[in-house]
Structure 1
Amino acid sequence: MTKSKFQMIYDELVGHIENGDLKANELLPSENELAESFKASRETIRKALKLLSEHGYIQKMQGKGSVVLDVTKINFPISGLVSFRELADKMGKRAKTDVVGLEEQLMTADMQEQFQMKEATNVWNVKRVREIDKERIILDKDYLLTSLVPGLTINICEKSLYAYIEQVLGLTISFAKKEITVERPTEEDKELLDLKEYDTIVVVKSHVYLDDATMFQYTESRHRPDKFRFVDFARRTR
């Protein structure tokens, strides 16, 4: 199937961004300059730019033009509670979720300790591999109390757990306690992720609470180290 002109322009610009010819935080040439360079109409250029924006390669700035985004790393807020789906929405078709495990089980002793419960109860064990730019670079392992989060399905887990919890179940997710460590990859990490030559993995452990301070989720998010930048805003207090 022959590609349309705007798709060919999109592909060429993606190539320039991914190989560094067009650098992060630089402005793209103007629509007129691109139209002249590619011997195309401005409407064709606008379609290519729209696709670049939808797939997370550029950000359109009012009155300035289009700024190239850093596609080598993904910003993960440390203090915020942001779901992968909310981050993935900015990347369009570059991001994909594969649910590799979903089962209801009785808490293990370790899970009982994480949830600080005197008696074991049932939890969902959800495993999801996150793929970005056709590389499997995150393994999310979620444990959720089935008493608070009933009715999970693979379809829900592929889309967004938090959207289901907030919009369907009507619960309010309030805050999380997080711990970030650097560890050796497990055999499971090596099996499920494209680790390449990396012999370490960044692990973000989160205890997540509802607005009544009830812990409902424990998560281990395991990241290949080259693709992520963990960001925060800090203010000095006296």
Structure 2
Amino acid sequence: MYENKYLTIYHDLAGKIRQGYWKPYDKLPSENELVKRYRTSRETIRKALNLLSEHGYIQKMKGKGSLVLDVGKYDFPVSGLVSFKELAQNMKQPVKTIVNELEVIKPDPDLKRYLHATSKDEIWKVIRSREIEGERIILDKDFFYKKYVPTLTREICEDSIYEYLEKQLKLKISFAKKEMTVEKVNDEDRKYLDLNGYDHIVVVKNFVYLDDATLFQYTESRHRLDKFRFVDFARRK
């Protein structure tokens, strides 16, 4: 019962934050107020607050209470080269990868331009939806030269392609060039994403290179407008 009590309080407070009962940067009621509201002990309230902090709902300020964080958007690093699996581990939210398409294709004119490919090249095409908290809000379209990635399976694509490339194939992924645009949604977005009425989408294009400066991957990552905050860190020299 004791453990269930703090979990019940955690879920109640988390639900209120998600529903907007408290806005981002509002202060939660004090521990004393929460003790009275839930008719429980201070220790139980502290356990619930610690869980809220661990899951990114609040920032605990020493001597100043708890500040509600903006949980409506997920931070997406602009400058890093990070796999979705690595991002998902930091999100602390229920996530799922859905493999919509997996096949080897011949490059169309756009892929020839993006990958500097020829008509003779074979390219892996992988289209995956990323589901977060029950909504499909990212569409990842990955294209790899088959000569560098001889084999791909649905199981690998559901887990982490980068983990497979680096640990199994021993490829050394070094850097990427990125482009970011806002575009109108297309039929593919409508098919594979829960757009929630939005008619534009944020598109991040990645041109990914191995450590010998070989371009081996082109990625188009399409994000629902309302769900992401694109972040970077800058220092003035």
Report the TM-score, using the length of structure 2 for normalisation. 0.84
Q: Is the 8 A contact 2:138 2:193 kept in 1?
A: yes
**1:220 to partner: Cα distance:** 0.7
CA 234–78 in structure 1, closer or farther in 2 if over 3 Å, else same: same
**1:186 to partner: Cα distance:** 0.7
Q: Is the 8 A contact 1:172 1:210 kept in 2?
A: yes
Q: Does 1:70 align with 2:70?
A: yes
1:7-30 Cα shifts (integer Å, max 9, x gaps)? 321221112211233343556556
Aligned AA (2:94): R
CA 90–32 in structure 1, closer or farther in 2 if over 3 Å, else same: farther
1:87-106 Cα shifts (integer Å, max 9, x gaps)? 21122343222111112223
Q: Does 1:122 align with 2:122?
A: yes
SS in 2 for 1:110: helix
SS in 1 for 2:190: helix
1:66-87 Cα shifts (integer Å, max 9, x gaps)? 6543211111121111222222
Aligned AA (1:141): K
Q: Which moved more, 1:225-234 or 1:27-36?
A: 27-36
Structure 2 regions of 5+ residues with no counterpart?
A: none
Q: Who is 2:233 aligned against?
A: 233
1:132-161 Cα shifts (integer Å, max 9, x gaps)? 222211111111122222332222212222
RMSD: 2.8
Separation of aligned partners in 1, 2:170 and 2:27: 42
Q: Which moved more, 1:107-116 or 1:21-30?
A: 21-30
**1:110 to partner: Cα distance:** 2.2
Q: Who is 1:156 aligned against?
A: 156
Residues 117-196 of structure 1 aligned to structure 2 (within 5 Å): 117-196=117-196
CA 125–49 in structure 1, closer or farther in 2 if over 3 Å, else same: farther
Q: Which moved more, 1:166-175 or 1:139-148?
A: 166-175
Separation of aligned partners in 2, 1:187 and 1:158: 23
Structure 1 regions of 5+ residues with no counterpart?
A: none
Residues 37-56 of structure 1 aligned to structure 2 (within 5 Å): 37-41=37-41, 44-45=44-45, 48-49=48-49, 51-53=51-53, 55-56=55-56
Q: Who is 1:90 aligned against?
A: 90
Aligned AA (2:211): D
**1:51 to partner: Cα distance:** 4.7
CA 173–65 in structure 1, closer or farther in 2 if over 3 Å, else same: farther
SS in 2 for 1:8: helix
Separation of aligned partners in 2, 1:57 and 1:115: 41
CA 93–226 in structure 1, closer or farther in 2 if over 3 Å, else same: closer
Separation of aligned partners in 1, 2:66 and 2:165: 36
Separation of aligned partners in 1, 2:150 and 2:45: 47
**1:219 to partner: Cα distance:** 0.6
Aligned AA (1:164): Y
Aligned AA (1:211): D
**1:226 to partner: Cα distance:** 1.3
Aligned AA (2:116): Q
